[in-house]
Amino acid sequence: MITLKDIVELPSGRIFICETIDSKGDPYIVECTEMQDVTGKENPQVLVTDDVDLIRANLVPHEQKWLMTVSTQFGCGYQCRFCDVPLLPFRGNLSAEQIIEQIDLIIRESPHVRKTQKAKIGFARMGEPALNWSNVLKAIHYLKNHRWGDFRFLPCYNSIVPDTIIDGVGPFEILKEVLRVKEEIFDGFLHFQLSINSTNEDERRWLFHGAKVVSLDRLIEFFDKQTITNRTITLNFICGEGWELKPDKLKGLDPEKFVVKLIPLNKTTRGHRDGLKTFANYRNFDLLKQKGDEIRNLGLNVVVDTIAKCEEAGLCCGQLAHIYMKNTKDK
């Protein structure tokens, strides 16, 4: 059972701070969110403003797109350097019911949204979905028979792709199972995103704090052999200053299978501790766009995203849960 403890309002959405019981039977705080996209591409000034009214006037209507994220683990089994979830103690996996309850809660707390052609749910707030793949896929499957309103769901599976056996199953079997759900249950409309972040494998491993992950070459080789319809596989690059992103190393990618996504590095406590800085953000978005153009010139599809200033505070996964847990302890 998930209980709502607090709601943090942002100009473009809300973060829900919830309490539930972890795998050891103790109370634990998890986060889930609902947001609207900010139309920064058409109106760049909205990316840098503090003017709440201007931001609200430039939000993509819920009917077109609604973005949600839910947690899949109590903390996370990994320690990526750019992420604040590892500030929380790791207590294992949420059950499928606990994941679905978060979706229920977000929708219950949003009576103003009853219709949307794209309800995108990221199973990527707190936790690495591959470590809890069977419960995550159960929850994704559940969306198909939802009873909440006139929603067309777009589940988003976003993974660092650990190169390890999880519940007796290897990384490629898990990827195949996610693909099966994408193609058979959602007719290809599942956003399948792989966290790449660097074209240098040593650097990737460093960014993932030593976690053994499947190499980019092996991922490309695997997906090249699979049938992929409607939505291509996203190779996601968080762009940090000095992190290797050599377009040459992406040469030969099949645009029918892959899309490359570039996003800025968010400010996090742990990233700051390790001296990580973003390559570009809302103030110098052009730099990121140029990088995108270099890759696009190879004949690849590229999406370049930025984080609006208004979305920075508290947006990073785990930050608010950490503050909330700490405050509760200190009382």
CB neighbour list of residue 76: distance below 8 Å, 6 or more residues apart: 83, 85, 86, 88, 90, 126, 127, 128, 318
Residues in contact with ligand SF4, shown as a per-residue x/- string from 44 to 83 under the rule CB under 6 A: --------------------------------x-xxx--x
Nearer to ligand SF4, 300 or 317 (CB): 317
The amino acid that residue 226 corresponds to is: Q
Nearer to ligand SF4, 171 or 247 (CB): 171
Q: What is the closest distance, in whole angstroms, from the C-beta atom of residue 80 to ligand SF4 in the complex? A: 3
Mapping DSSP onto H, E and C, the string for 156-210 reads: EEEECCECCCECCECHHHHHHHHHHHHHHHCCCCCEEEEECCCCCHHHHHHHCCC
What SS3 state is found at 98? helix
Residues in contact with ligand SF4, shown as a per-residue x/- string from 95 to 134 under the rule CB under 6 A: -------------------------------xxx------
Q: What is the closest distance, in whole angstroms, from the C-beta atom of residue 51 to ligand SF4 in the complex? A: 31
Dist CA 153 CA 119 (whole Å): 5
Nearer to ligand SF4, 58 or 236 (CB): 236
Nearer to ligand SF4, 252 or 275 (CB): 275
13, 40, 86, 247: residue in contact with ligand SF4 (rule CB under 6 A): 86
Dist CA 22 CA 187 (whole Å): 34
Q: What is the closest distance, in whole angstroms, from the C-beta atom of residue 127 to ligand SF4 in the complex? A: 6
Q: What is the closest distance, in whole angstroms, from the C-beta atom of residue 28 to ligand SF4 in the complex? A: 15
Phi first, then psi, for residue 174 (nearest 5°) are -65, -45
Nearer to ligand SF4, 36 or 158 (CB): 158
The reply on whether position 194 binds ligand SF4 by CB under 6 A is no
Nearer to ligand SF4, 219 or 253 (CB): 219
46, 136, 140, 160: residue in contact with ligand SF4 (rule CB under 6 A): 160
Kindly state the tokens that stand for 30.
């998890």
Nearer to ligand SF4, 36 or 72 (CB): 72
Dist CA 14 CA 223 (whole Å): 35
State the sign of the Cα–Cα–Cα–Cα dihedral 207, 213, 216, 217.
positive
Q: What is the closest distance, in whole angstroms, from the C-beta atom of residue 293 to ligand SF4 in the complex? A: 27
Q: What is the closest distance, in whole angstroms, from the C-beta atom of residue 18 to ligand SF4 in the complex? A: 17
Best CA proximity match to 66, nearest among 122, 147, 129: 122
> Any bridge partners for residue 120, and if so which?
67, 154
Which positions lie near ligand SF4, rule CB under 6 A? 76, 78-80, 83, 85-86, 126-128, 160, 317
